[in-house]
Amino acid sequence: MNEAATPGQRILRVLVTVGPGGLWLFLFVLLPSLLVLLASFLSRGPYGELGLPLGLHNYARALQPVYLEAFAQSLLVGVWATLLSALLGYPLAFYIARHPKRDLLLFLLLLPFLTNFLIRVYAWLVLLQREGLVNAFLGAFGLGPFAFYPSFGAVLLATVYTFLPFFVLPVYASVERLDWQLLEAAYDLGARPFRAFLHAVLPQTYPGLFAGSVLVFIPAMGTFVVADLLGAGRVVLIGNLIQQQFGVTRDWAFGAALSVFLMGFVLLSLYLYARIQGERGLEELV
Amino acid sequence: MRRLLSLHALLVYLFLYGPILVIVALSFNESRRGVRFSGFTLDWYRALFQDPRVLEYFLNTLTVALVSTLVSTVLGTLLALGMVRYRFWGKALLRYLLYVPVVVPDVVMGISLLLLFAFSRELFGFPRLSLLTVILGHITFQLAFVTLVVRSRLLLLDPALEEAARDLGARGFQTFLYVTLPLAWPGVAAGALLALTLSLDDFVVTFFTAGPGATTLPLYIYSSVKLGVSPKVHALSTLIVGLSAVFLALGYALSRRRV
């Protein structure tokens, strides 16, 4: 591309541009990932330090029912959060895309999203507490008060709340690119609204739907903060287990094995996504 | 049908804003517990500003955000440039590594950095968990996002513009400074803004990489919340919500001006 440059200059330019960032990714992304893999085969020492012997014991332990249950719970949160986000987010994306003031509506969608994540979870803690607004509202009808949290429902609600914009934005992007003439063609051919939507509109939004699902599913499965605050020990997800191993329990080796499991799961879902979406799929996620 | 869609949108926006507005309202509420509004007060704000720790946590948050954003924007812009312009050994691996911080759950990212620092401390005696390790962690996830954002902007540029600069006698660095950088600027600014937001919002990576004396506002909110609902946190949350609204409005105004 750059005919004027000598090979020496070219190497220098690559070193200057790619060198620092590449070195950073090597030191702080690749190396730590390999360390997690290594640690997952080690053992917990008497003082919580990592030590020998090497073995597969952490993985064997992760397969025990208690831990599998946490995995199942995480999966459940991921799937439910994705479904609910779709239910709330899919029609909203259409509404925004077809609204004359869509810039403003997008801005209003992003505003709570850019508010600190912890504050958004905390808000639900405030609403759902015993003396909270939800109970006060229900109390006006003579209902309750209910203990809304800790519960699976509370965790799910806050999860959907925090990740919903992740779903709306990619769907919005595909609705914006929609070819509405196909819809008219479907009507011309005598299709009723529902059939027309099913065949002329829905398939065009598949890329956005898939991207949104991945963007909600992965963080919903992997978070520990929401379950920590709104599940309060009652709802234990895989993220909570990992955090516990690196906190109170100090069994880093077992925590590392759980992380490898979680990563395997994330990579599997990304692989499936890439299979459906083709090569460009991953690039469109960002 | 259209009316149904409007109603749905209205409800979703209510769902998004309701909880935040409740927090804002409660921050001015005299009553310590519950939702009954017993009178307007600024006491919680006063208590917040009189707490010297909160100022310290705020400064920590700001230091981390500014330093990490600066470093990640410079490194990310250069990296994006190199990846778009040149072919080199290991480029495919680098492309995969860029996606890792984007797709990996925060917990895994946090513990992998913690392991790195622990191993390094075992072998070389540093780094101790501190504000420095928090900054290193933030740069790591920011770098990936900045690079991807800047790269997508660079891919849109017409290579003929750089060729023209070279034909006119500009050297590599001059071309970069006077042609490439100004053209890529919106991408760089967007990347930096994203990096800043991610840093200010981050709790999980900070949680695992922070040592004593490296408490940030999100860490403070987390530990207060663990102790129960508190009006001081309402006040702090309201301030943060207000600040993000101002930042976003600025970004929104700037993006409209460009069009």
Q: Along the 259 residues of chain B, how does pLDDT read in single tens digits?
A: 778 888 998 999 999 998 888 888 888 887 776 666 777 888 888 888 888 888 899 999 999 999 999 999 999 999 999 998 888 888 889 988 998 888 889 999 999 999 999 999 888 888 888 899 999 999 999 999 999 989 888 888 887 888 888 888 787 778 888 888 888 888 888 889 889 888 988 899 999 999 888 899 999 989 888 887 788 888 988 888 888 788 777 777 766 654 3
Cα–chain center distance at A91:
20
**Closest Cα partner for A99 from A152, A172, A31?**
A172
pLDDT at B259: 39
Q: Is the pLDDT of residue A100 over 50?
A: yes
* Mean pLDDT computed over A72-82: 93
How far apart are alpha carbons A209 and A217 in whole angstroms? Answer: 12
Gyration radius of chain A's alpha carbons:
24
Pairing of strands A43-44, A50-51: antiparallel
Q: Which of residues 53-82 of A touch B (CB under 8 A)?
A: none
Q: Does A271 touch chain B (CB under 8 A)?
A: no
**Closest Cα partner for A242 from B8, B115, B41, B183?**
B115
Q: Which of B78, B98, B111 sits opposite A242 (nearest CB)?
A: B111
% of residues, chain A, pLDDT over 70 = 94
* Mean pLDDT computed over A249-264: 91
Pair A80, A217: CB distance under 8 Å: no
Q: What is the pLDDT of residues A11-59, one digit of tens each?
A: 888 888 888 999 999 999 999 999 999 999 987 777 767 777 778 888 9
Q: Which of A25, A124, A266 sits opposite B105 (nearest CB)?
A: A266
Q: Is the pLDDT of residue A260 over 90?
A: yes
Q: Which of A31, A118, A221 sits opposite B221 (nearest CB)?
A: A118
Q: Is the pLDDT of residue A1 over 50?
A: no
Q: Does B222 touch chain A (CB under 8 A)?
A: yes
Q: Does B225 touch chain A (CB under 8 A)?
A: yes
Contact at CB, A270 and B103, closer than 8 angstroms: yes
Q: Which of residues 3-32 of B touch A (CB under 8 A)?
A: 5-6, 8-9, 12-13, 15-20, 22-23, 26
Q: Which of B15, B35, B81 sits opposite A17 (nearest CB)?
A: B81
Residues 6 or more apart whose Cβ sits within 8 Å of residue B199: B64, B65, B68, B69, B138, B142
Residue with tokens 């090979």: A7
How far apart are alpha carbons A210 and A221 in whole angstroms? Answer: 16
Q: Which of B13, B27, B85, B108 to mutate to test the interface with A (most CBs of A within 10 A)?
A: B108
pLDDT at A265: 87
Determine the residue of chain A that is closest to B112 in CA distance: A32
Pair B62, B130: CB distance under 8 Å: no
Residue with tokens 């299709």: A191
pLDDT at B34: 62
Considering Cα of A38, then A40, then A43, then A45, what sign does the dihedral take? positive
Phi, psi of B29 (to 5 degrees): -90, 130
CB pairs under 8 A between A and B: 245
pLDDT at A242: 93
Q: Is the pLDDT of residue A4 over 80?
A: no
Contact at CB, A14 and B82, closer than 8 angstroms: yes
Which chain B residues are Cβ-neighbours of A29 within 8 angstroms?
Answer: 97, 100-101, 140, 144
Q: Which of B2, B10, B35, B168 to mutate to test the interface with A (most CBs of A within 10 A)?
A: B35
To the question of pTM greater than 0.90 for the whole model, the response is no
Contact at CB, B200 and A127, closer than 8 angstroms: no
Query: pLDDT band at residue A281, thresholds of 50, 70 and 90?
Result: low
